[in-house]
Structure 1
Amino acid sequence: MSGGQTLAPDAAAIERLADAAVAALPERFRRHLDGVVVRIEDFADEETLGALGIEDPFELTGLYSGRSMREESSLASGEMRPMIHLYRRPLLDEWVDTGVTLEALITHVIVHEVGHHFGLSDAEMHAIEEQAS
């Protein structure tokens, strides 16, 4: 984000950063993301938060929904495409609270959610992140 930014980035700005994060992924991952939709919302809805046992909507910055690549590869009739949800307000709060650049934060969340697309568990992703550090 530019140094002169005075307003919180809107959904379109977050989407541009998410698109850049996806474009920066290694080709071996990127080629499997053609059907995955990235959707920007201010917050997760109440149903999603309830299903995850989350009371504070600021605790969820991103979510993967849909089948992983480890599951059947074809969509059942009427089934929604796999989707990465990015929640703008929690992302912005974390950005302010941590001092991490918004680009780095969004990239981290995208990588985490892409890991779910590939069928990796949270523990597997954390282990990969630890190895990369």
Structure 2
Amino acid sequence: MSARESRPESHPGDDLLAWKAPALEEFERLAEEAFARLPRAFRDLAANVIVRIDDWPDEETLDELEAESAYDLLGLFRGIGLAEAGEPMSGQFPNMIWLYRRPILDYWAEHDETLGAVIAHVLIHEIGHHFGLSDEDMEALEAQAG
């Protein structure tokens, strides 16, 4: 269910306070839709990356990255990027991306972008770490996914 579908059907004059932020399952679907809009070659290369949706980053991650607040981290890539990849080692964890729902929702509330655009931005940025892409490369991908 998209952010639009997560709120009751509205008519002019309806109470906007009845709208709800998307739950984890809805947010996951929005992330899947954002991924599906990425260029096919990019998706194919990132096909083995696991995407997880959590409400917040864990304390260990926040400490490791020296984040001042849980709101500072919208997403995270953990793994071995394609530029560094060699032969897989026994016991090696899969490449994973985390999208953090609550910080992303907070960012969305403060900016003039759609929630889908914010999710796509974070997803592209984190997948970009997997590929070792520059900021300019990631901006070009965002424009294509637009």
For this structure pair, what is the TM-score category when the shorter chain's length is used for normalisation?
A: 0.7 to 0.9
Shift of 1:74: 3.6
Shift of 1:73: 4.2
**RMSD over equivalenced CA pairs, Å:** 2.0
State the percentage of identical aligned residues.
44
Q: Which runs of 4+ in 1 moved over 3 A?
A: none
The amino acid across from 2:77 in the alignment is Y
Shift of 1:4: 6.7
Shift of 1:99: 2.9
Find 1:94's aligned residue among 107, 131, 135.
107
* Superposed CA offset, 1:19-57 (max 9, x none): 111111111111112211000011111111111110200
* Superposed CA offset, 1:45-73 (max 9, x none): 11111111102001110011101001124
Shift of 1:75: 2.5
- State the aligned residue count: 129
User: Is the Cα–Cα contact under 8 Å of residues 40 and 87 in structure 1 kept in the other structure?
Assistant: yes
Long gaps (5+) in structure 2: 8-18
Find 1:34's aligned residue among 39, 47, 50.
47
Q: So what's the TM-score if we normalise by structure 1?
A: 0.88
What is the rounded CA distance, in whole Å, between the counterparts of 1:3 and 1:15 in structure 2? 14
Long gaps (5+) in structure 1: none
